[in-house]
Each structure stands twice: as structure tokens, then as C-alpha cells.
Amino acid sequence: MQQQIITYIETELLAGQENLNLTADEDLLTTGLIDSLGTMKLIAFLEETYDITVPAEDMTIEYFMTVNDMAEYIAARRTANVIS
Amino acid sequence: MSYTLPQLITRAAATHPDKPAFRCLGKQVTYRELERQMHQIAGVLKGVGVKKGDRVGIFMARSLETAAAIYGIMAAGAIYVPLNPGQPVSRTYFLLKDCGIEVLLTNDGQKRNLPAVITAESGVKTVLGTTTDLPCQTMSWTEIYAQDDNPPAVNILESDPAYLLCTSGSTGVPKGILHTHRSGLAYAELSVADYNLCENDVLGNHAPIYFDISTLGYFAGPMARATTIIASEAHVKMPASLAQLLEKEQITVWYSVPLALMQMQQSGKLSALDLKKLRWVIFAGEVYPMKHLRRLVNELPQAKFSNAYGPTETNVCTIYNFSELPENMTSLPVGKVRGNTEILLLQDGKPAESGELLVRSPTLMQGYRNRPDLNEKAFYKRPTAAGGTEIFYRTGDLMRRDADGNLLFLGRKDRQVKVRGFRVELDEITETLLRHPQVTAAAVYTRTTADENTEIAATVTTSDPENLTEADLILYLKKELPPYAVPANIRFVKEMPRTATGKIDLKALQNRMQTA
């Protein structure tokens, strides 16, 4: 999952930038690597690809700072869906 | 004795040395520490050859180093030029050249962006605040903060330039708005007075430093000896975290574009949080959609609200303060003229009930840098009876006064629009599209989205309809324009609708897009 998200970020959000080699534990938000619009697109991609809904109150740094954070969040959302 | 912006820090350090001046991502700097850092940076800048009046770039995401960089550059007698790290490399390049920037302050958050920007051709000779390997002289923050902190010997007058904000220009070339210590201080003084800012205040700073909204936190905060919370890039992108920051820091005065507040409203957290200390919510940059504003006022009954208006050239020159909104109000006034400020409403050169707003105030810019042509058009000079001249800035904004003496915004004289608070010249986007080899005609306009925000849209004709796609053009524009100026969508047509005089019929395109 991590690699799939990284590929999306590199090819869709940061297209045109060379030799990115993003890592799953890299801070994507604080440095301004992805802009506000990119963040929205990324969340839409995660929702569609992993069949989850990200409610507005979950738009937090803890869940979206790194690709690893996102993967953890997605797993938790899916489990929550199964239980409910 | 002259009074300059860096003196805000030395004065606060003398009276409130241990008070936190700025806080960002859990780290903070006191006034005493900031004074020391400011002098260290100024000393380093002097050491690498920066002289009074030189332009020094700041290329970093919001952080504590941003505050140190701003004040360090000004303390060296130089002019700080904020550069948006999120803008295309070509634009940063243009600004580096156009402003003659040879020294840049940055931090390691930009290690991915720096090598593309700092090339042998960029003209940059020194990059401070980085450990990245670059083809020029560099120095890390650890090294900077190990230097002497003697105040630099430089004679700065309050009428000297202090900062340069670069904004969209209609001919496709950005223009630099030059502000002085005096104009920055005059703005801070008015803000301290209008919002009764004091040392107990905690100011929420949401705007990036290339946006003039940032100067409330950076200048008025230290003037009041308050603490300014710099919202990090991460908070700005995550509205639920931003709302939590308001509670965690017990922010008393919030200032941002309406969009940031609307996003926090949508995150559903605002009314559930403990925000009882929040006493002022100030917004500026664009119109707050009435239905969202009414909700906000209901959600924050403890706060007063202020709609602040003023182009970057003048700083905020009118404000409309309210605690509740009259039932029958359909559009929010930009309010009454601030102290120490005079306005004129002119139509065809004569005073009128409604017309273009002209502003005279010590908060006014010195002028557009190196653009005598623009300055000639922007300033209106009124001779006085005593034989002097009073200088007004022509805002290009059309206004009228209502029965209560409040000013109401009617529209623009030209094709400048606001998107997410940022000023965008639609003609700059048109010019950029027309430079694309396969674009034969282009029209750029705005439309209102379902949630009442403004977005940019474009329609083009092409010589290569088989191959050129919307995605190609968006990618092309992303390399040329700041992110907020890239249209949300671009449509292809075989032929542009034209008016009787042969001009592209923008109204027709706009209506078509609005209903699409």
C-alpha cells in the first residue's frame, strides 16, 4: 500500500520533479512538499482506492503527515467499517 | 530618534525578555532569544557582503526561523523578500534575478527544492540556513547561532525600505511592492489600537510571509509584546488540526483568509472546542460568503469579528467590526476608514458617491520596485494649498458608502480577482496560456463554486486538438504560475464566442461554465 501511495504522489502530485525517491516516513506536510490542493487530491485518491471515507474531523496531521501514517489510518478505517 | 521594525524586538526584549515571542510546532523563542538571533543573522549577512538596501530572499516553509530571518535581514539594513517554495522554479528564478537577490535564508525543510533553484546561473552567491550541498557558499543554522550577537552598526531610517512583497502582474510579470519600516510600523500601530492588542494576547498567524496578512503576527505581535503562534504548513493543510491548535494555544486573536475559517467550520470542531479566550476573529483577502459567516458568528458567540480590507500596497485601510449580523444584511461592508488614513471616492476624476477608492496613509507602500511606469499610474498626486503634494494610491476597487457611512465593495476596475485570498491577475494567466506553442486563443475567467468560493476556469482553442489535453496544459501552467493561479479546469472549444466588436465574449463563456 505504501508504495502505491508513493507512486501516486510522485506521478500525480509532484509530476515534473525528478529523482524524488520519496520514503514512507518522510514528512510531506510541514516542509510544504505537497500543497493544499495536492492534499485534497491525495485524500480523494485514498478514499477511492482503498474504499474508505475520510470525515472532515479526521483531517489531522497525525493521520496524514507521512505515507506510513496514512497506511495506518486506512487500515484502522477499514477495520472500523468491518466492525460497524 | 528613528523607530524601525527591528526595534520592536529590542524594545520587547528589554521589557519582556522571557516572554515567548513566537511559537511553532511546539518550539518557541523568547524576545531575548529572538533579539540575539536577529543580531547574529544580521552579523552573518554583513560578513557575506550584504549592504543596506540589498534584497535578501527568504525561502522556507513557516517556522520559527522565518521570524528570525525577517528580523535579521531588516536589522542588517537589508530588505526581506519572501519567496514561496511552492511556486514553480521558473518563477522563483525570475524573482531572484528581478530583485537582484544574491543571498538567501532557508532551512533544511527545503532540501528537495534548493538544488533546482540554486544553480550556477541563479545569481545566488550565499545560502544561509542549510546543510545541503549547493554550488555556492552555505552556512547551517547551527553555525549562524554560534556567531557573535553584537548589534550591527548600520544606520537605518524609518523611511528606508524594509520588505518587498511580490504579487501577480497583469502583463504576465510579477511586481514588487516595496514597504518601509514606517509603513510596517504604522500598520502595526493601527492594529494594536483597533484590536486593543496587549501582552496577554496570543495571536494566530495563518498566512505565509509572502502574504501581507502575515505582518499582523510578525509586526503587531511584538509591538504589543504578545505571543504569536505560527501555524505550520501541516496545520494549514489539515483543518481539524488547525482548529485544535486554536484551543491548544488558547489563541485570543485569529487572523486569516475566510477559506481557513470555513475549512475549520467544515471540520466540525469549532463549536465543540474550548475557545472562550478567542476575542477577535479577523479575516481579509476575499469576501466571506454570508451563509458561512452567519454560521461562524453563531458558533463563536464570545468573539468579535472584523472584516479587514486593504490591498498589499496600502495595508489594511478599512475595517468593519461586528458581534452579530443584521438579519437583512446581504453583503458584508468593508467598513470604516482607519485612523491616520484619508480616502477619496473618484469617478472620472471627480469626488462621487461611488467610484474608485483612493487611499492616503503612512501605511502606504513606497512604490513598485523599479517600475516608474506602474508608479506613475498607481499614485494620484493632489496639490495642497501650502504648495505641497498629497499622495494617494489608486486601489482599482470600486466602492460606495451606505447610509451608515460604511464602505461597500462593488467590484474591480480591471481583471484582478481573489482566489483563496491570493491576488490573481486573470490576464497574467491568459498571457501564459498564449505562450504555449499549441494554444491559439485563450480566455480566463472566474466562476462561483457550489460552496460559494471563487475558482478560475479557462477556455482555449488549439492547433493540435488530437494531442493536446487539459492535463498537459495544467502541468504546463503549474510550471509557470503559483499554485493558486492554476485554473481548476480548462475547456477546449473549436471556436471562441465573440462579441459584436470581435472580442472574446467572456460573459458567454462564464455563463456557460457556471451552468455546466
Backbone region of residue B157 per phi and psi (left: phi > 0; alpha: psi in -120 to 50; beta: other values): beta
Q: Does B25 touch chain A (CB under 8 A)?
A: yes
Asked whether the beta carbons of residue B268 and residue A36 sit closer than 8 angstroms, the reply is no
Place of cell 498629497: B390
Q: Does B232 touch chain A (CB under 8 A)?
A: yes
Considering only CB atoms, B267 lies closest to which of A20, A29, A56, namely: A56
Minimal Cα distance from A55: which residue of B? Answer: B267
Label residue B15 by pLDDT band (50, 70, 90).
Answer: very high
Read off the pLDDT of each residue in B468-485 and give the average, rounded to a whole number.
91
Read off the pLDDT of each residue in B233-260 and give the average, rounded to a whole number.
94
Q: Please, are residues B86 and A35 in contact by the beta-carbon 8 Å criterion?
A: yes
Alpha helices per DSSP H over B303-404:
372-378
Considering only CB atoms, B483 lies closest to which of A30, A37, A57, namely: A37
The minimum CA-CA distance between B363 and chain A, rounded to whole Å, is 31
Read off the pLDDT of each residue in B494-510 and give the average, rounded to a whole number.
79
Give the orientation angle of helix B31-47 with respect to helix B6-15, to 10 degrees: 140
For domain B416-515, give the CATH number: 3.30.300.30
Place of cell 494555544: B249
Q: Please, are residues A80 and A39 in contact by the beta-carbon 8 Å criterion?
A: no
The minimum CA-CA distance between A3 and chain B, rounded to whole Å, is 20
Asked whether the beta carbons of residue A16 and residue B241 sit closer than 8 angstroms, the reply is no
Question: Structural domain boundaries of chain B?
Answer: 6-237, 340-412, 416-515
Minimal Cα distance from B87: which residue of A? Answer: A35
Beta strand residue intervals within B333-450, DSSP E = 336-337, 342-347, 350-351, 354-360, 367-368, 379-383, 389-401, 407-412, 416-419, 422-425, 439-448
Place of cell 467590484: B411
Beta strand residue intervals within B221-378, DSSP E = 227-230, 253-256, 280-284, 304-309, 318-322, 336-337, 342-347, 350-351, 354-360, 367-368
pLDDT digits (tens, 9 = 90+) for B394-446: 999 999 998 888 999 988 888 888 888 888 888 889 889 988 999 988 999 98
What integer pLDDT is reported at residue B269 of this predicted model?
67
Residues 6 or more apart whose Cβ sits within 8 Å of residue B275: B246, B247, B251, B300, B302, B303
Burial B335-348 (b: 16+ CB within 10 A, else e): bbbbeebebbbbee
Is residue B47 pLDDT above 60, yes or no? yes
As a whole-number percent, the residues of chain B with pLDDT over 70 amount to 97
CA dihedral B343, B347, B353, B358 (to 10 degrees): -10
pLDDT digits (tens, 9 = 90+) for B172-225: 678 999 999 999 999 999 999 999 999 999 999 999 999 999 999 999 999 999
Closest CA to B224 of B59, B370, B19, B399: B19
What integer pLDDT is reported at residue A13 of this predicted model?
85
Candidate CATH numbers 3.40.47.10, 3.10.350.10, 2.30.38.10, 3.40.50.2300; the one for domain B340-412: 2.30.38.10
Asked whether the beta carbons of residue B475 and residue A34 sit closer than 8 angstroms, the reply is no
Query: Rounded mean pLDDT of chain B?
Result: 92
| Rounded distance between C-alpha atoms, residue B426 and residue B456, angstroms | 8
Minimal Cα distance from B488: which residue of A? Answer: A37
CA dihedral B417, B62, B224, B192 (to 10 degrees): 0
Any idea which fold B6-237 has?
Answer: Rossmann fold (3.40.50)
What integer pLDDT is reported at residue A12 of this predicted model?
86
CA B34 to chain centre: 23
| Rounded distance between C-alpha atoms, residue B334 and residue B100, angstroms | 37
Read off the pLDDT of each residue in A51-75 and give the average, rounded to a whole number.
93
Is residue B266 pLDDT above 70, yes or no? yes
Considering only CB atoms, B483 lies closest to which of A35, A55, A62, namely: A35
The separation between the first and the last C-alpha atoms of chain B, rounded to the nearest angstrom, is: 62
Asked whether the beta carbons of residue A31 and residue B25 sit closer than 8 angstroms, the reply is no
Is residue B1 pLDDT above 70, yes or no? no
Q: Which domains does chain A have, with CATH numbers?
A: 2-83 (1.10.1200.10)
ipTM score for this prediction: 0.89
Minimal Cα distance from B262: which residue of A? Answer: A56
- Substitution target in B113, B210, B237 with the highest count of A β-carbons within 10 Å is B237
Residue B293: what residue type? L
Is residue B500 pLDDT above 80, yes or no? no
What integer pLDDT is reported at residue B286 of this predicted model?
83
Q: Residues B370, B58, B455, CA angle at the centre, nearest 5°?
A: 80
Read off the pLDDT of each residue in B436-462 and give the average, rounded to a whole number.
88
The minimum CA-CA distance between B484 and chain A, rounded to whole Å, is 9
Q: Does B91 touch chain A (CB under 8 A)?
A: no
* Three-class DSSP category at B394: strand
Asked whether the beta carbons of residue A61 and residue B234 sit closer than 8 angstroms, the reply is yes
Asked whether the beta carbons of residue A59 and residue B239 sit closer than 8 angstroms, the reply is yes
* Three-class DSSP category at B325: coil
Label residue B514 by pLDDT band (50, 70, 90).
Answer: low
Closest CA to B424 of B475, B354, B484: B484
Contacts of A59 in chain B (CB under 8 A): 238-241, 267
Q: Of B50-54, B137-141, B419-423, B472-476, where does mean pLDDT reach its minimum?
A: B419-423
The separation between the first and the last C-alpha atoms of chain A, rounded to the nearest angstrom, is: 23
The minimum CA-CA distance between B1 and chain A, rounded to whole Å, is 41
Q: Is B404 exposed, middle or buried (0-12, 13-18, 19+ CB in 10 A)?
A: exposed
Contacts of A32 in chain B (CB under 8 A): 61, 85-86, 109, 233
Q: What's the predicted TM-score (pTM) here?
A: 0.89
Is residue B509 pLDDT above 90, yes or no? no
Is residue A37 pLDDT above 80, yes or no? no
Q: Does B456 touch chain A (CB under 8 A)?
A: no
Grid coordinates of B364: 502606504
Burial B130-150 (b: 16+ CB within 10 A, else e): bebebebebbebeebeebeee
Contacts of A37 in chain B (CB under 8 A): 483
Minimal Cα distance from B110: which residue of A? Answer: A31
Read off the pLDDT of each residue in B367-387 and give the average, rounded to a whole number.
94
Grid coordinates of B436: 504555449
Minimal Cα distance from A35: which residue of B? Answer: B86
Q: Does B478 touch chain A (CB under 8 A)?
A: yes
Give the DSSP letter string of B88-120.
-HHHHHHHHHHTT--EEEE-GGGTTTHHHH--G
Contacts of A16 in chain B (CB under 8 A): 475, 478-479
Q: Does B130 touch chain A (CB under 8 A)?
A: no
Is residue B449 pLDDT above 90, yes or no? no
pLDDT digits (tens, 9 = 90+) for B101-122: 999 999 988 988 898 899 888 8
Minimal Cα distance from A12: which residue of B? Answer: B475
Q: Which residues pair with B230 in a beta bridge?
A: B205
